């Protein structure tokens, strides 16, 4: 039982990058951070791998010189939003321990460091000393023989030896021999990521358009990066940590498109050149574009067959504008918002809609829903309702009206439940599923057109 418990401890330490020896009667060595020789690694170069749910993997390469024996390698100047768990250091040495230090990460964490220490409480006219007692949920102050949950003034903290006023990562290592070279640390950082966006500028008829893909880079991690290599990963990666909100800002164009390549079942973009991402930076980078892409505009009408008597016609409803187009970039398209601009009669552009698209393979067709059309309307009327022993027959009339100055394509989608069959129809139709039928027709400019059909639905026999 003891060996089993010790083995579990070894596995736990190993996941935290701590060396653990065999459980066959050998105890793991204790971690003596303060006694090890400190080796500060100065900043040199960064590679940032940004993910769409606002986090990043930072590859931090720094020059480092190591002697023999146990040493403490410190990477200072890292972001306050660093995630210490999972940080990894690549050096030719055995790594015995790792820790992330930043005592100003929040107020509670700082005050906990002063548990049992003497602090000063002052107001406008006087000051006094008190003992801070940390309760686990907040501080309590002992003044004389009394306890105060709230301090009677402003609290000032004395300087405390060993307190980490700036964030840093440390590894306790022991190399077999002296070494000089580049040590590479990899660690996760929150509030440093990217979102994918698109713009589509169409002609007045929305039959063609210029398509452009943008990457919105955001850095709210608390650290500025200079001359960093940047890779963007498309698609969400499963993590324990929740995403943080994104921010947006100005735009930047690159001399060449970012190349897209497959990566672990997803795709990534390697941005050419180097990037400066300052604190609270918000920057857009053009990734790719396609000029004069063909578009099919369809006005969609949706309704359903009612198996109940409906003597009154429905009120007029508006069709929805949908743009259909083949993948305009000819490559996998990450999910993102599409801002569609279209010109008015005066040629000035205005936003026609802002739909979102899911992750889209390169062979998949896109559909952009722009919302309701103002002057393409329809009404539905139940013109016949007949009950028979074995089936119910329902006849429907749909009146379509186009008040635009352009001819349009209309797609009518009707929902039907049960075991149904179309017995009559004024136009050809397509049964696209067990619950849907589809009509498609052209409607001239400033015209009306009727569509009628009859559906027979089998009735369930009662036992």
The CATH number given to whatever domain includes residue 436 is 2.60.40
Determine the 3-state secondary structure of 240 from DSSP. coil
For tokens 């400019």, name the residue: 445
In a domain, 179, yes or no: yes
27 and 124 co-located in one domain: no
In a domain, 426, yes or no: yes
The predicted pLDDT at position 425 comes to 96
Beta-carbon neighbour count of residue 460 at 10 Å?
8
In a domain, 236, yes or no: no
170 and 132 co-located in one domain: no
173 and 319 co-located in one domain: no
- Whether 288 contacts 329, CB under 8 Å: yes
Looking at the chain, the whole-number percentage of residues with pLDDT higher than 70 is 86
In a domain, 224, yes or no: no
In a domain, 305, yes or no: yes
Q: How many CA atoms within 13 Å lie on the side-chain side of 398?
A: 28
Closest by alpha carbon to 101, among 89, 113, 92? 113
184 and 93 co-located in one domain: yes
In a domain, 242, yes or no: no
Query: How many distinct structural domains can be found in the chain?
Result: 3
112 and 184 co-located in one domain: no
131 and 182 co-located in one domain: no
Q: Which of 148, 174, 189 is the last residue of a domain?
A: 189
**pLDDT of 338 over the 80 cut:** yes
21 and 112 co-located in one domain: no
Give the mean pLDDT of 151-171.
92
Q: Which of 189, 205, 234 is the last residue of a domain?
A: 189
Across all residues in the chain, what is the average pLDDT?
A: 86
Looking at the chain, the whole-number percentage of residues with pLDDT higher than 90 is 69
Can you tell me the distance from the alpha carbon of 333 to that of 197, in angstroms, rounded to the nearest whole number?
10
**pLDDT of 317 over the 80 cut:** yes
Lowest mean pLDDT among 22-31, 79-88, 189-198, 230-239: 22-31
Domain range for 169: 2-46+57-103+165-189
23 and 170 co-located in one domain: yes
Q: Which of 189, 204, 235 is the last residue of a domain?
A: 189
Can you tell me the distance from the alpha carbon of 309 to that of 385, in angstroms, rounded to the nearest whole number?
6
In a domain, 312, yes or no: yes
Give the mean pLDDT of 114-133.
94
70 and 181 co-located in one domain: yes
- Whether 373 contacts 320, CB under 8 Å: yes
The predicted pLDDT at position 250 comes to 34
Question: Where is pLDDT greater, at 243 or 446?
Answer: 446
Residue 13 confidence class, pLDDT cut points 50, 70, 90: very low
175 and 314 co-located in one domain: no
Question: Where is pLDDT greater, at 27 or 200?
Answer: 200
Give the mean pLDDT of 420-440.
95
In a domain, 347, yes or no: no
173 and 320 co-located in one domain: no
70 and 145 co-located in one domain: no
């Amino acid at each position: 039982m003891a060996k089993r418990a010790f083995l579990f401890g070894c596995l736990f330490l190993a996941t935290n990058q701590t060396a653990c020896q065999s459980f066959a009667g050998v105890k793991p060595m204790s971690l003596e951070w303060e006694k090890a020789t400190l080796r500060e690694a100065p900043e040199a170069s960064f590679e940032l791998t940004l993910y769409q749910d606002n986090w990043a993997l930072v590859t931090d390469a720094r020059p480092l010189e190591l002697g023999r024996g146990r040493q403490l390698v410190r990477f200072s100047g890292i972001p306050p939003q660093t995630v210490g768990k999972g940080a990894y250091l690549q050096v030719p040495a055995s790594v015995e321990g790792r820790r992330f230090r930043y005592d100003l990460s929040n107020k509670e964490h700082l005050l906990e460091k002063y548990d049992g220490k003497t602090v000063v409480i002052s107001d406008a006219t006087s000051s006094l000393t008190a003992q801070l007692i940390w309760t686990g949920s907040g501080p309590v102050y002992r003044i004389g023989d009394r306890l105060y949950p709230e301090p009677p003034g402003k609290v000032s903290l004395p300087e405390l030896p060993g307190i980490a006023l700036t964030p840093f990562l440390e590894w306790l290592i022991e190399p077999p021999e002296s070494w000089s070279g580049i040590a590479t640390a990899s660690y996760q950082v929150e509030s440093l990521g990217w979102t994918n966006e698109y713009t589509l500028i169409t002609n007045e008829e929305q039959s063609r358009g210029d398509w452009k893909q943008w990457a919105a880079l955001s850095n709210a991690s608390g650290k500025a990066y200079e001359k960093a290599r940047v890779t963007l990963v498309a698609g969400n990666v499963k993590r324990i940590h929740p995403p943080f909100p994104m921010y947006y800002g100005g735009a930047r164009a690159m001399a060449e498109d970012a190349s897209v390549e497959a990566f672990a079942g997803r795709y990534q973009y390697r941005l050419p050149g180097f990037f400066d991402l300052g604190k609270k930076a918000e920057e857009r980078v053009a990734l790719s574009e396609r000029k004069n892409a063909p578009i099919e505009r369809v006005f969609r009408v949706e309704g359903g067959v009612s198996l109940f008597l409906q003597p009154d016609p429905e009120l007029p409803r508006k069709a929805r504008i949908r743009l259909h187009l083949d993948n305009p970039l000819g490559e996998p398209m990450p999910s993102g918002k599409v801002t569609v601009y279209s010109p008015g009669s005066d040629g000035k552009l205005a936003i026609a809609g802002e739909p979102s698209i899911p992750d889209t393979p390169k062979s998949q067709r896109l559909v952009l829903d722009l919302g309701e059309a103002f002057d393409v309307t329809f009404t539905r009327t139940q013109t016949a309702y007949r009950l028979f022993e074995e089936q119910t027959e329902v006849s429907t009339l749909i009146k379509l009206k186009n008040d635009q100055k352009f001819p349009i394509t209309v797609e009518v989608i009707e929902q039907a439940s049960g075991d149904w069959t179309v017995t009559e129809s004024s136009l050809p139709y397509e049964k696209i599923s067990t619950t849907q039928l589809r009509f498609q027709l052209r409607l001239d400019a400033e015209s009306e057109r009727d569509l009628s059909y009859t559906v027979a639905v089998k009735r369930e026999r009662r036992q």
